[in-house]
Chains A and B, each alone.
Chain A
Amino acid sequence: MLDFLNLTVRLAAPVLLVALGGLFSLRVNIFNIALEGFMLFGCFASVVGAYLTGSVLGGILFAAAVSLLMTMVYALFVFELDVDPVICAIAVITIAGGLTRYLLIPIFHTSGRYILPPELALPTVNLPWLEAIPVLGPILNNHSILVYLALVLPFLLHIFLYKTDLGLSMRSVGLNAEAAASAGISVKKVRYFALAMNGILCGLAGAQLALSLNLFNVGMTNGRGFTALAALTLTGFEPILTLLACLLFGASDALVLMLSGEGYPVQILSMLPYVLALVVAIVPPIVRRLAKNARRRRAERTLMAPGRECPAQE
């Protein structure tokens, strides 16, 4: 059980990092569905960076840099050239899939997948004082730095959004860009900043995904960007709630990994995260709609109650 929860935390980390990246974009009202593409760039760049520099840190930094560069190109297209952000985002995903598949061949002379030497895998941190805590210790210990970053970041982000000037600017740009502009906020600068943060976090997510397994696999993000979007729509872009939602996805990933060794059909098991994301995206709006209808019926009943005048017709 503790193993399972430990695995949950580890598998939730990449989704969480992507989701927090997407949160920046959604908070400034850019529905960035290209998360998947930026993360794939991050995966590939982390492996290339680690390979070229011979260090894990080099891989992480390179992933963040490449992903940042790509988001800036995307931002340039969306903000300066007025393109359709959705189609541009899908183009980014297509380019990410194509370029990483293509560049694997000239850089690593292999096709489909490249495995780094094991010493370039993301090292895990063992904290003796954490180990000593009964239940929490084994769950939270022995993760990589990026997992810890992912776990701390939602709280920092909460503080950033609600306690700092820049966070306030971001929220106001998201709620009403024109009003924010007339209040003297530079909407474009705030949006570029949000997309830059989005890029860096997607890069880190890619680094965690690729370097924790020390390999790059074509299309290894496997829809995590979209899962993150589903999680975000569930939580209404709240960082701390997003942490919980992503842990749920981490748990489903962990369940798939643990059960796949026990003779269940792999394909059906692998559907679990996607079905979960589907449920997460569909059920809350239905519940909201039902609640609204119930409220309206209740209000009608009160209005029509005996002893009350009916509202005059015409």
Chain B
Amino acid sequence: MGAKTAALDLRGLKHWALGLVSPVCAILISFIMAGIVVVFSGGNPLEAYGALLRGAFGSAAGLRNTVRYTLPIIMLALSFSLCDRCGYFNIGQEGQMFTAALAVAWVPQFMGGAPGFLQILVMVLLGALVGGVMSLIPALLKFLLGINEIVIGVLLNYIATLLSSYMLLHASFADPNSSMPMSYLIEAALPAAAMVGGVVLIVLVYGLGMQRTVPGYELRMIGKNPRFSRACGLPTVRIILIMALIGGAFSGLAAVGEVAGVYHKMYEGFAAGMGYNGMTAALIGKGGSVGMVFGSLILGALQSGSVTLSVETSVPAELVQVVQGFVMFFATVNILRFGFRRNRKGGN
């Protein structure tokens, strides 16, 4: 009996290790491809990657920065994979972040006298709510009218970005004395420990809940086959919409962390390009929570190291974006499956 469970565990471990091959390969290939780009533009890729590594992990400040960039990416990756499981492609994360950040920046305006923790609480709740509602719009349109959610999501991103630019110039929370469009300083700050703790808690709840609970099981079932789960008596559409709401709330929370925890103000374009980070991390992790945290860490390290990159070498920090794009591109390929299929063909 004991031997049997051990064998099962070994198989599980092997499965898990095999699942790691494809994302790790994707990341390696991406670095090589980006390295080729660097060589062609007259730089030294090894020097560049060394600087990235030193910048991200070489000092206490660098490490802190890496964690700081990793946290929102984890939230966005959770948001993306939660929605992706239900067949809702949540590409509107940037729009969700911008609108949630607007709500956060507005909170001190109407409850300026209230104690700090109360303001933070309202910011968190309001940010999550606004993000969720923004995510619900494309989801509703998709499941009620069959409209492609990607087009709607992207258009909403553009509209939300422009709206936030406008609000940061003209709304009551806009700071008229700053050189660029931004909000007033937010006095009530979200402590770093709370952010780390919150994200760890959410990841744990997500990871365990997905594997060990009935709602998690139902969710996985809907992801695998929505028609079957409807036949099983699940209110499929309602569950999907709730998941879209929660997914949007996660993006909103990422924005709350950025605005109230890191910058202590909202400024124009603070979330530009972040939505794709979450998607990439979710892709590396293939929906599993460990892989997702790993993917977020790599992307966070890239961002945190990019400062050192531009200071210490002649390679511009924009390289980071190139690497990110390649990671996403190659993470789509399931190298293992491709290998197996070729083997089978050879056998026939």
Q: A residues touching B (Cβ–Cβ < 8 Å)? A: 31, 33, 77, 81-84, 86-88, 90-92, 94-99, 101-103, 105-107, 111, 222-223, 226-227, 229-230, 233, 265, 267-268, 270-271, 274-275, 277-278, 281-282, 285-286, 289
A278 touches B329 (CB 8 A): no
Residues of B within 8 A of A97 (CB): 273, 321, 325
Instruction: Name the contact of A87 in the complex, choosing from B154, B159, B166, B283 (C-beta under 8 A).
Output: B283
Q: Which residue, of A77, A94, A233, has the highest number of chain B Cβ atoms within 10 A? A: A94
A274 touches B145 (CB 8 A): no
B41 nearest CB neighbor, chain A only = A106
Q: Is B152 an interface residue (CB 8 A)?
A: yes
Residues of A within 8 A of B328 (CB): 87, 90-91, 94-95
Q: Is B326 an interface residue (CB 8 A)?
A: yes
B146 touches A285 (CB 8 A): yes
A285 touches B321 (CB 8 A): no
Q: Assuming the A-B contacts A90-B91, A94-B324, A99-B325, are A278 and B155 also in contact, with contact meaning beta carbons closer than 8 angstroms in the complex?
A: yes
Instruction: Name the contact of B333 in the complex, choosing from A83, A90, A286 (C-beta under 8 A).
Output: A83
B321 touches A268 (CB 8 A): no
Least Cβ distance of B85 to chain A in Å?
14
B154 touches A223 (CB 8 A): yes
0 or 1 for each of B160-194: is its CB under 8 Å from A? (1 = yes): 00110110011000000000000000000000000
Instruction: Name the contact of A229 in the complex, choosing from B151, B159, B276, B329 (C-beta under 8 A).
Output: B151
> Which of B117-170 touch A at CB < 8 Å?
141, 145-148, 150-152, 154-156, 158-159, 162-163, 165-166, 169-170
Q: List 12 A-B contacts (CB under 8 A).
A: A94-B325, A95-B329, A98-B325, A102-B322, A105-B316, A226-B155, A230-B155, A233-B147, A267-B165, A267-B169, A285-B146, A286-B145
Residues of B within 8 A of A227 (CB): 155
A86 touches B150 (CB 8 A): yes
CA distance A226 to B155 in the complex (A): 7
0 or 1 for each of B315-331: is its CB under 8 Å from A? (1 = yes): 01011111111101100
> Which of B326-348 touch A at CB < 8 Å?
326, 328-329, 332-334, 337-338
Q: Is B279 an interface residue (CB 8 A)?
A: yes
A86 touches B152 (CB 8 A): no
Residues of B within 8 A of A106 (CB): 41-43
B318 touches A77 (CB 8 A): no
CA distance A274 to B95 in the complex (A): 13
CA distance A223 to B95 in the complex (A): 14
CA distance A91 to B29 in the complex (A): 15
CA distance A16 to B163 in the complex (A): 27
Q: Assuming the A-B contacts A90-B91, A97-B321, A285-B147, are A102 and B155 also in contact, with contact meaning beta carbons closer than 8 angstroms in the complex?
A: no
> Which of B227-260 touch A at CB < 8 Å?
none
Q: Assuming the A-B contacts A106-B41, A226-B155, are A95 and B325 also in contact, with contact meaning beta carbons closer than 8 angstroms in the complex?
A: yes
CA distance A91 to B327 in the complex (A): 8
CA distance A270 to B162 in the complex (A): 7
Instruction: Name the contact of B321 in the complex, choosing from A102, A223, A233 (C-beta under 8 A).
Output: A102
